[in-house]
């Protein structure tokens, strides 16, 4: 087939294309991720018993805000990475800001605590399950985000996979924080990001294989 014939073939009956598809697909994937994580959390873990009292504590909202900020920034990253020719620009900064803010808070808390208290603030009661539970809750969001990415056109496949994984991890963390009883900034600042990094690493690993087009 000559190239002119291919051009004619592609143009024939091409029809209109709905705008903003990258945003729409990623937001839909995010919604599936929230739903999936919430169902998994309700079925396997349940919300924390004192959820209603926790609503009054600032640290509870700081946890939620942290996860939400990371989710928003990784959504921006995923969007940009799924369109050819777009740069990440300010996104890494926005992604780093909530992490830095939380670390600052954690450092402050640790500095003001007694030496004996510090290990408890860092390890809490659940450090050994927290990252794995976050990774578990991220599975539905991971599948949805990778599928959304597959329907778009990432050109940096490893980065795109990582951004999809991070988005799934952040969404899972948002839901997980409704279950998690830990309230110390040093705990949140280390084990939560570690949990998010598990699907991120999985995405970076699988991206080059799954996202080719």
Partner 1 sequence: MQETSRLNAGEVRLRSLFLRGLAGDEPAYHAFLRDLSAHLRAFLRKRLVQLPDEVEDLVQEALLAVHNQRHTYDAGQPLTAWVQAIAKYKLIDLLRRRAQRELLNDPLDDEFDFAAAAHTEAADARRDLTKLLARLPERQRLPIVHMKLEGLSVTEAAKLTGMSESAVKVGVHRGLKALAAMLRDEA
Q: Nearest-5° angle of CA 167, CA 78, CA 10?
A: 135
Per CB under 8 A, the segment of 2-10, 92-100, 113-121, 130-138 that binds partner 1 is 2-10
H/E run at residue 68: helix 58-81
Total binding residues for partner 1 by CB under 8 A? 30
Tokens of 67: 């996860």
Task: Report if residue 89 touches partner 1, rule: CB under 8 A.
Answer: no
Binding mask 141-180 for partner 1 (x = CB under 8 A): -----------xx-x-------------------------
Which residue's structure tokens are 């009661």? 125
209 in contact with partner 1 (CB under 8 A): no
Q: Please say which residue, 11 or 56, places its beta carbon nearer to partner 1.
A: 11
42 binding partner 1? (CB under 8 A) = no
Dist CA 9 CA 204 (whole Å): 36
| Cα–Cα distance measured from residue 50 to residue 48, given in angstroms and rounded to the nearest whole number | 6
Tally of CA atoms within 13 A in the half-sphere of 101 that contains its CB: 13
Binding site for partner 1 (CB under 8 A): 1-4, 6-19, 21-22, 82-86, 152-153, 155, 212-213
């Amino acid at each position: 087939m000559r190239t002119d014939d291919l051009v004619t073939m592609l143009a024939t009956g091409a029809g209109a294309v709905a705008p903003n598809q990258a945003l729409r697909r990623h937001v839909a994937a995010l919604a599936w991720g929230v739903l999936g994580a919430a169902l998994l959390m309700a079925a396997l873990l349940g919300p924390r018993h004192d959820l209603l009292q926790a609503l009054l504590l600032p640290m509870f909202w700081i946890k939620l805000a942290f996860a939400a900020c990371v989710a928003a920034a990784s959504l921006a990253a995923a969007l940009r990475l799924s369109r050819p020719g777009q740069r990440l620009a300010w996104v890494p900064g926005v992604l780093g800001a909530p992490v830095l803010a939380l670390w600052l808070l954690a450092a402050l808390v640790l500095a003001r605590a007694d030496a004996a208290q510090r290990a408890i603030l860092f390890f809490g009661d659940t450090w050994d399950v927290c990252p794995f539970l976050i990774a578990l809750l991220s599975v539905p969001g991971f599948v949805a985000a990778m599928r959304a990415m597959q329907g778009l056109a990432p050109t940096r496949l490893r980065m795109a996979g990582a951004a999809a994984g991070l988005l799934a991890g952040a969404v899972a963390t948002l839901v997980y924080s409704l279950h998690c009883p830990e309230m110390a900034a040093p705990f949140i600042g280390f084990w939560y990001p570690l949990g998010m990094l598990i699907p991120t690493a999985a995405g970076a690993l699988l991206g080059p294989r799954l996202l080719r087009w």
